[in-house]
Amino acid sequence: MTTIGYARVSTVDQDLTIQIDALEAAGCEIIRCAVPVREAALQLGDIKKRIRIPLVADIHFNYKLALIAIEQGVDGLRLNPGNIGARKYVEEVVRAASERKIPIRIGVNAGSLEKDLLQKYDGPTAAGMVESGLRHIHILEDVGYNEIKISLKASDPLMMIEAYRMLADQVEYPFHLGVTEAGTPSIGTIKSAVGLGTLLAEGIGDTIRVSLAADPVEEVRVGREILKSLRLKKEGLTFVACPSCGRADVDLVGLAKTVEERMLPYSNLDIHVAVMGCEVNGPGEARAADLGVAGGKGIGLIFKRGEIIRKVPEAQIVDALMEEVEKFAAEKKLEQAAAADA
């Protein structure tokens, strides 16, 4: 079952641990760092000591960087064995990885397929991606290494779906899923949900990364929502709001947007919040949530676990709801503390 959020920080710098903390708070469970130069590789050990989630080094072309990363104590490598030179270099990396039981993820991208495969398939195709992936897999298998994960990413969701399906029929290695270069959040979220969601619903995939032209924290949030929508992840905030319609008696769109923004600090809290705008579906949805709002003419009913606990003017709905969220969070902490002491 896929339960891992995945995000990438593009550079290794002094602020990296701050970025990783923010990503972890949003729900990231594995962090991948690009390691373009030796100086970056040498920082990985210190970074590893200051973070709480597994650290993966993203290596391209230079096998020596992979060796340094392994020495620094990383938990995994993203590396294409066909791109780091002679077989002896691959063997050297494999020996070091094997000693520390470090998995290697092969990353195939439709935008960087080998020239002969582009010619053979007349451009990037799912079949070409699969052939590229098998090439890299066979290199590692030939030197006796099977701690492998593989990704087949494309900016076209249909191409990546087809590629993963094809490879799933040929190998049993774990898959890392992603629609690469998906675009801005408005477009990329849809493409990622279609590509990742289709495969995950079919039982294909072990880790995911949402690729957006946005803050990596937004990538993690989108990834969590994809997993939660498929019930592959249950922890954290579940937020629902009804669409705008003629029955809404409050500014539903503005209300929902404000509540969503105010709930961001509570994204890891196990809570179901519903914001509803009318008396038709509103009460039912609000009652089904841990906390909910059902809007009326100029007022809002605040629900907690199915019971109406407050009736407030429309202007006070958000503040009243957030007061209840804070109380709910405090109750959760007490419950967790009691469970830990039991």
Residues in the chain, pLDDT under 70: 1-14, 244-250, 277-287, 342
> Quick check: 232 and 1 in contact, CB under 8 A?
yes
pTM given for the model: 0.84
Q: Residue 333's pLDDT is what?
A: 84
Q: Residue 300's pLDDT is what?
A: 85
Q: Residue 253's pLDDT is what?
A: 82
Indicate the Cα dihedral angle 197, 200, 202, 205, nearest 10°. 140
> d(Cα 302, Cα 320) in Å, to the nearest integer?
8
Q: Residue 89's pLDDT is what?
A: 87
Q: Residue 14's pLDDT is what?
A: 58
Q: What's 126's DSSP letter?
A: H
CB count in 10 Å sphere of residue 333: 11
Contacts of 153 (CB under 8 A, 6+ apart): 107, 108, 109, 110, 160, 178, 179, 180, 211
- Identify the helix (H) or strand (E) that includes residue 165: helix 157-168
pLDDT in tens, 67-88: 999 999 999 999 887 778 788 8
The DSSP secondary structure of 214-265, one letter per residue, reads S-HHHHHHHHHHHHHHTTS---SEEEEEPPP-TT--S-HHHHHHHHHHHTGG
Q: Residue 3's pLDDT is what?
A: 43
> d(Cα 305, Cα 288) in Å, to the nearest integer?
7
Burial class (CB in 10 A: 0-12, 13-18, 19+), 22: middle
> d(Cα 160, Cα 154) in Å, to the nearest integer?
5
Q: Residue 294's pLDDT is what?
A: 82
pLDDT above 90 covers a percentage of the chain that reads 41
Is residue 321 helix, strand or coil? helix
